[in-house]
């Protein structure tokens, strides 16, 4: 990479379904890297596999990226100088370079069917041999091959793997040598189906390793930051770079992400869909912060404004992000830890933001929908301000705030028994009387005074005093500070709740 060259990195998902959480980590690493070096992040859609890469899947994936709030500089919906940014719109380019390799005899037609190849691979493995292509079509002349094609046979193109070692200087993993003979001739285009045949005019359908190199080179990418699982692809890609005389980008292969069972993170050992986490009420801030620490570690001694060394804003990360902090050892995706981090963000993010993100969770709850609109924005913000202390996920808020719901209360057995013993009922009745004349429900010191007076009058204190009051106001034996709850309930709800409680204790309900 030339000294004056600006960093250009990319995220190149294949839109075959939802956005995988591991993909978000790759995207985020690339974003941080681009921002750290004042470079550009490109979003490229790798949709050469047109059976699996549907427009619906692409839409779903783009929505996930947008809901995480990650900005990229060029992509299908952000025009740039190196488009189009969908591989399905770049087939002419792949055809051009495929022809070039064919003309230079660096690639040849291969007529072997996928089934035959699989059989041969299996047989080779059984015999303890390297499962590489056996060269069946390697020596066939081009004329002969073209004759077969004009006679209606279908073929893909196979690259002749040079007999030499390839050495990669990886920014994370250091020097890696891919030894000669470990990778056989490999497909750069596959045999087209009947429908695809016409479109591809005898050179087959480009496969990932091939289209990837052409695009990475033509899009002038300087760094390829992607998961370590791509290393075996990189070996093949190095050969293609060389054959096409393209400049080599710098590679950084990041550590794998494992589930807590130490197996590769997949649907089997956890949720891997980004949307699912957002739907559960994780903040995108949490997801990105948490994922950034899977395989990267900030330099020691940094002091984020959050006060916690692991809770960092994107701006704080940008300042210190780099491949030097990336680790080789696999990282474990521990949802419990992410949940903890979300509870940290729940308390730390501005109340206004938490409130607006919490709103959809209340609005999709039929019990809450009307209450929220009737009571108004200010009330709702106070509710969130109070209950965000008690939960980890946004989706837990409507449940936690449920003690504000309802003008009457139905007591459970424990609460009822508590009020039936000692001076429980008397406390509640005294509370009703006094609150009748108590004007300002948000006057917490006045409310504390009032409780004290009841205590003195009836000669009760401690649990015997506070618990009946808590039960009479909320129907529960625990919860947030009552002086915070009271103003949110409102005077008439408070009165009717107490009345309903008295009725139950007296056995009148
Ligand atoms: N489309 C490829 C994938 O989703 C891109 C891999 C790469 O970064 O080269 O795995």
Answer yes or no: is 113 within a domain. Answer: no
Q: Do 283 and 330 sit in the same domain of this protein?
A: yes
User: Which residue has the least CA distance to atom 6 on ligand 1?
Assistant: 12
Q: Do 260 and 282 sit in the same domain of this protein?
A: yes
User: Which residue has the least CA distance to atom 4 on ligand 1?
Assistant: 13
Q: Do 394 and 417 sit in the same domain of this protein?
A: no
Q: What domain range is 366 assigned to?
A: 351-402
Ligand 1 and 226: CB distance under 6 A:
yes
Whether residue 200 has pLDDT greater than 80? no
Ligand 1 and 86: CB distance under 6 A:
no
Ligand 1 and 383: CB distance under 6 A:
no
Q: Mean pLDDT throughout 194-201?
A: 64
Q: Mean pLDDT throughout 496-500?
A: 95
Q: Which atom of ligand 1 is nearest to the CA of 46?
A: 1
pLDDT band of residue 176 (cuts 50, 70, 90) is: very high
Q: Which H or E run includes 9?
A: strand 8-11
Whether residue 453 has pLDDT greater than 90? yes
User: Which residue has the least CA distance to atom 3 on ligand 1?
Assistant: 13
Strands 205-206 and 186-190, bridge-based pairing: antiparallel
Lowest mean pLDDT among 235-239, 258-262, 404-408, 438-442: 438-442
Q: Which of 8, 15, 46 to mutate to test the pocket of ligand 1 (most atoms within 8 A of CB)?
A: 46
CB 214 within 8 A of CB 199: no
Q: Which atom of ligand 1 is nearest to the CA of 226?
A: 8
Answer yes or no: is 14 within a domain. Answer: yes
Q: Do 338 and 376 sit in the same domain of this protein?
A: no
CB 141 within 8 A of CB 147: no
Domain of residue 332, CATH code: 3.40.50.620
Q: Do 419 and 499 sit in the same domain of this protein?
A: yes
Q: Do 324 and 377 sit in the same domain of this protein?
A: no
Answer yes or no: is 12 within a domain. Answer: yes
Residue 391 tokens read as 């939960």
Ramachandran angles phi, psi of 464, nearest 5°: -60, -20
CB 379 within 8 A of CB 415: no
Answer yes or no: is 84 within a domain. Answer: no
43 Cβ contact partners less than 8 Å away, ≥ 6 residues apart: 10, 11, 12, 65, 72, 74, 75, 76, 78, 85
Q: Which atom of ligand 1 is nearest to the CA of 216?
A: 9
- CA of 438 relative to ligand 1 center, distance in Å: 66
Do you find a cis peptide bond into 133, omega within 30 degrees of 0? no
**Residue 271 pLDDT:** 78
- CA of 14 relative to ligand 1 center, distance in Å: 7
**Residue 437 pLDDT:** 81
Ligand 1 and 311: CB distance under 6 A:
no
**Residue 444 pLDDT:** 84
Q: Give the Cα separation of 330 and 252 in Å (integer).
A: 14
Q: Do 298 and 361 sit in the same domain of this protein?
A: no
Q: Give the Cα separation of 409 and 292 in Å (integer).
A: 46
Ligand 1 and 47: CB distance under 6 A:
no
**Residue 389 pLDDT:** 94
**Residue 508 pLDDT:** 59
Could you tell me which residues are beta bridge partners of residue 158? 108, 187
Whether residue 377 has pLDDT greater than 60? yes
Q: What is the chain's length? A: 509
- CA of 220 relative to ligand 1 center, distance in Å: 17
CB 188 within 8 A of CB 206: yes
Ligand 1 and 19: CB distance under 6 A:
no
Number of domains in the chain: 3
Percentages helix, strand, coil for the chain (3-state, rounded to 5) are 50, 10, 40
Ligand 1 and 22: CB distance under 6 A:
no
- CA of 167 relative to ligand 1 center, distance in Å: 21
Torsion angle in degrees (nearest 10) through CA of 13, 15, 17, 21: 10
Of 304, 321, 349, the position where a domain reaches its end is 349
Q: Mean pLDDT throughout 257-267?
A: 87
Q: Which atom of ligand 1 is nearest to the CA of 23?
A: 4
Ligand 1 and 14: CB distance under 6 A:
yes
Ligand 1 and 234: CB distance under 6 A:
no
Q: Do 494 and 421 sit in the same domain of this protein?
A: yes
Q: Mean pLDDT throughout 323-339?
A: 95
The rounded Cα 418 to chain-centroid distance in angstroms is 47
Of 334, 349, 364, the position where a domain reaches its end is 349
- CA of 217 relative to ligand 1 center, distance in Å: 15
Q: Mean pLDDT throughout 249-272?
A: 89
Question: Which of 505, 370, 487, 372 is closest to 438 using CA atoms?
Answer: 487
Ligand 1 and 203: CB distance under 6 A:
no
Residue 235 tokens read as 């070996």
- CA of 11 relative to ligand 1 center, distance in Å: 8
Whether residue 198 has pLDDT greater than 70? no
Answer yes or no: is 224 within a domain. Answer: no
Q: Do 379 and 418 sit in the same domain of this protein?
A: no
Q: Do 459 and 500 sit in the same domain of this protein?
A: yes
Q: Where are the alpha helices (DSSP H) in 173-283?
A: 194-197, 208-218, 231-243, 274-279
**Residue 316 pLDDT:** 97
Strands 331-332 and 257-258, bridge-based pairing: parallel
Whether residue 445 has pLDDT greater than 50? yes
Ligand 1 and 46: CB distance under 6 A:
yes
Torsion angle in degrees (nearest 10) through CA of 318, 323, 329, 335: 20
- CA of 23 relative to ligand 1 center, distance in Å: 9
Answer yes or no: is 458 within a domain. Answer: yes
Residue 387 tokens read as 């209950």
**Residue 456 pLDDT:** 95
Tell me the pLDDT tens digit for each residue of 19-73: 999 999 999 999 999 999 999 999 999 999 878 888 999 999 999 999 999 999 9
- CA of 10 relative to ligand 1 center, distance in Å: 10
Q: Which of 12, 33, 210 to mutate to test the pocket of ligand 1 (most atoms within 8 A of CB)?
A: 12
Q: Which atom of ligand 1 is nearest to the CA of 233?
A: 9
**Residue 269 pLDDT:** 77
Of 367, 382, 402, the position where a domain reaches its end is 402
Answer yes or no: is 189 within a domain. Answer: no
Average pLDDT, the chain: 93
Give the sign of the dihedral formed by CA 67, CA 69, CA 70, CA 74: positive
What is the spatial order of strands in the sheet that 205-206 belongs to? 107-110, 156-159, 186-190, 205-206
Q: Do 344 and 356 sit in the same domain of this protein?
A: no
Tell me the pLDDT tens digit for each residue of 100-157: 999 999 999 999 998 989 998 898 889 888 889 999 999 999 999 999 999 988 899 9
Domain of residue 461, CATH code: 1.10.10.350
pTM across the whole model: 0.91
Q: Mean pLDDT throughout 322-343?
A: 96
Percentage of residues in the chain having pLDDT higher than 90: 80
Whether residue 397 has pLDDT greater than 90? yes
- 51 burial (CB, 10 Å; 0-12 / 13-18 / 19+) is exposed
Helix (H, G, I), strand (E, B) or coil at 78: strand
pLDDT band of residue 509 (cuts 50, 70, 90) is: very low
**Residue 75 pLDDT:** 97
Ramachandran angles phi, psi of 115, nearest 5°: -65, -45
Answer yes or no: is 173 within a domain. Answer: no
Ligand 1 and 13: CB distance under 6 A:
yes
- CA of 26 relative to ligand 1 center, distance in Å: 10
Tell me the pLDDT tens digit for each residue of 88-103: 999 999 999 999 999 9
Whether residue 4 has pLDDT greater than 70? no
Q: Mean pLDDT throughout 165-173?
A: 97
Q: Do 370 and 450 sit in the same domain of this protein?
A: no
């Amino acid at each position: 990479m030339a000294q004056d060259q600006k960093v250009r990195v990319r995220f190149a998902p294949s839109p075959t379904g939802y956005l995988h959480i591991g993909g978000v980590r790759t995207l985020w690493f690339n974003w941080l890297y681009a921002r750290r070096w004042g470079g550009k992040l490109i979003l490229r859609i790798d949709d050469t596999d047109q059976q699996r890469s549907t427009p619906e899947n692409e839409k779903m994936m783009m929505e996930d990226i947008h809901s995480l709030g990650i900005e990229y500089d060029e992509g299908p919906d952000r025009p740039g100088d190196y488009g189009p940014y969908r591989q399905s719109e770049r087939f002419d380019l792949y055809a051009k370079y495929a022809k070039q390799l064919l003309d230079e005899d660096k690639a040849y037609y291969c007529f072997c069917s996928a089934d035959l190849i699989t059989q041969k691979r299996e047989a080779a493995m059984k015999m303890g041999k390297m499962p590489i292509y056996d060269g069946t079509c390697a020596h066939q002349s081009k004329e002969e091959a073209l004759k077969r094609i004009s006679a209606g046979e279908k073929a893909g193109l196979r690259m002749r793997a040079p007999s030499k070692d390839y050495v990669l200087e990886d920014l994370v993993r250091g020097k890696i040598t891919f030894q000669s003979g470990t990778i056989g001739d490999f497909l750069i285009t596959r045999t087209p189906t009947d429908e695809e045949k016409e479109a591809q005019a005898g050179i087959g359908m480009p496969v990932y390793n091939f289209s990837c190199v052409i695009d990475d080179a033509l899009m002038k990418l300087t760094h390829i930051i992607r998961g370590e699982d791509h290393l075996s692809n990189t070996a093949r890609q190095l050969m293609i770079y060389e054959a096409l005389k393209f400049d080599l980008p710098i590679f950084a292969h990041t550590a794998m992400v494992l589930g807590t069972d130490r197996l590769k993170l997949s649907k089997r050992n956890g949720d891997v869909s980004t949307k699912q986490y957002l739907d559960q009420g994780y903040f995108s801030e949490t997801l990105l912060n948490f994922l950034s620490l899977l395989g990267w570690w900030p330099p020691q001694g940094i002091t984020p404004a959050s006060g916690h060394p692991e809770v960092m804003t994107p701006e704080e990360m940008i300042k210190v992000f780099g491949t030097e902090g990336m680790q080789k050892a696999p990282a474990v995706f521990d949802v419990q830890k992410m949940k903890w981090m979300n509870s940290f963000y729940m308390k730390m993010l501005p109340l206004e933001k938490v409130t607006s993100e919490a709103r959809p969770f209340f609005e999709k709850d039929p019990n809450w929908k009307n209450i929220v609109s009737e009571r108004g924005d200010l009330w709702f913000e106070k509710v969130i301000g109070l209950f965000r202390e008690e939960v980890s996920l946004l989706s837990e808020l409507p449940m936690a705030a449920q003690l504000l719901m309802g003008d009457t209360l139905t007591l459970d057995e424990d609460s009822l028994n508590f009020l039936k013993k000692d001076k429980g009922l008397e406390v509640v009745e005294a509370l009703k009387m006094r609150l009748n004349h108590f004007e300002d429900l948000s006057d917490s010191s006045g409310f504390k005074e009032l409780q004290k007076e009841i205590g003195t009058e009836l000669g009760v204190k401690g649990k015997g005093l506070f618990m009946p009051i808590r039960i009479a106001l909320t129907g529960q034996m625990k919860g947030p500070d009552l002086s915070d709850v009271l103003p949110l309930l409102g005077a008439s709800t408070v009165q009717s709740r107490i009345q309903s409680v008295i009725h139950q204790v007296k056995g009148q309900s």
